[in-house]
Structure 1
Amino acid sequence: MNTVFVNGEVIDRVDAKIDIEDRGYQFGDGIYEVIRVYGGNTFTMKEHMERLYQSAEKMKLSIPYSEEELTGHLLELIDSNQVKDGIVYLQVTRGVSSRQHHFPSKDVKGSVVAYTKDLPVPLRQMEQGVTAKLVEDIRWLRCDIKSLNLLGNLLAKEEAASDGHFEAILHRGDTVTEGSSSNAFMVKDGVIYTHPVTNLILNGITRRVIEDLCRRNAISFQEETFLVPDLFEADEVFIASTTSEVMPVIKINQQVIGNGKPGSVTKKLQALFSERKREQSPVK
């Protein structure tokens, strides 16, 4: 069964319709989340939902469901599609109104849609590592909002993908910010470095899990900016996201990082992350 959630109903995908004047379609005026499902259970659901409502508040966007109600709808959707290992994509827009740049009246109700997708963990890439390309970060200055406005991310990802790379690592001037769809980390002398939580990056949920794992396992974790030359001198580099988990980067712009293989710190984090997945109680 292939069902989707559209404005309060779980319906067959072929029956789903979105109005052409939905502000998400016309302006990208909305927010989204991607939540992992492992063995039929959601992972870090609460953290994702909390961030969704935080993004909504920053955009002055009203979500027409409580966090508890919306979580219940997503769980129903996951069960309906019998998702074992995959994702649920959730999107909220400011709703349908005649095209105008300023916000519509407050009686316009936001649109909420969600769908699921089977997506296995990329184990082979996690074991062998991937390559990345450095791309100038041309995005807007509110990257802390998980909005639908992803053109800068898409252009960077396409530039990297067209050259055969898994990810684009973004930089503003010489300062490394994050990946086009991930957070970026480097390891030097056993210390993990990553960009501080500011308006220039998205505070990824997987990033938060990694930080917690480091604190609990005596791994030095520093929220500190680093430069492009530092990246090339790193012992290890990895990226992290909901769909990629902890992903080693073994080459950037054709330059080998470290010894060209996933490093010991990265592999330890992968093992700790796998343990966390097994330990987390499902949201029901």
Structure 2
Amino acid sequence: MQDVQGAPREVGVIGGGRMGAGIAQVFATGGARVSVVENGAAAAEAARARLADGLAKAAERGKLAEDPEAVLVRVSVVDGIDRLPADADLVVEAVPELADLKVGVLAAAEAVLGERTVLASNTSSLPITELGAALRVPSRFLGMHFFNPVPASKLVEVVHAPDTAGEVVQQVREWVRGLGKADVVVRDSPGFATSRLGVLLGLEAVRMLEEGVADAAAIDAAMELGYRHPMGPLRSTDLVGLDVRLAIAEHLRGALGERFAPPRLLRDKVAAGELGRKTGRGFHNWD
């Protein structure tokens, strides 16, 4: 087990997709026992496969101090929120970016957890204040915005609402640092800091491609080489998912105005099922 200070010992993750599996991986690697909630045998098996694959890749890169199987032993995949451990230190919701779905999941989790459990949402843009409105104790709720791929990304954006207790924010910051990651703390506002800036850059890159300013490779290289971005805005959009970026842009357009209006090219690609890396094609070919 890695010697990680300040990490929680019992963690729940609701949703075992790419983000949820990544979140589960970093906490399990840090020594926590992790329960991943999924619906049905097929989804559970897919979540286990994602975790096993992520751990194997970490081991290949020399980023894992243990055998992958030793980490997997600390992870269980359960088939209902009611099977989360009531004494969990932290439960992170990582379901799709649908407000009603997230509100329902968070309320169901609160009903089975003890009063000391910190609840967090991995949302990249939905208002933390609104998500927490249905909770009995919103003071223990906040946003923990992880980035894809979670094991490799250094940043966690910690988003506090007006009702979030200061000691909860501080505890989460310590947990993030205990995992070897860095935190930035922002107040609840549309798009927080990262999505607001990242989406705006990504949308402008799509407009440039749409207008024929340059091809996707050139636009990405311009930001990678000229501004030292580790990944260009179009490749980043492919990694996040074009459908996810479109949904966030629509939300920010409603909250902040037309500067976040999605370009037609983005809409057309989503309609055609070209969603980025997860489908093999987006602004780049991932095959």
TM-score normalised over the length of structure 1: 0.34
User: More relative contact order in 1 or in 2 (CA 8 Å, sep 6+)?
Assistant: 1
Q: Which has the higher helix share?
A: 2
TM-score normalised over the length of structure 2: 0.34
Q: Which has the higher strand share?
A: 1
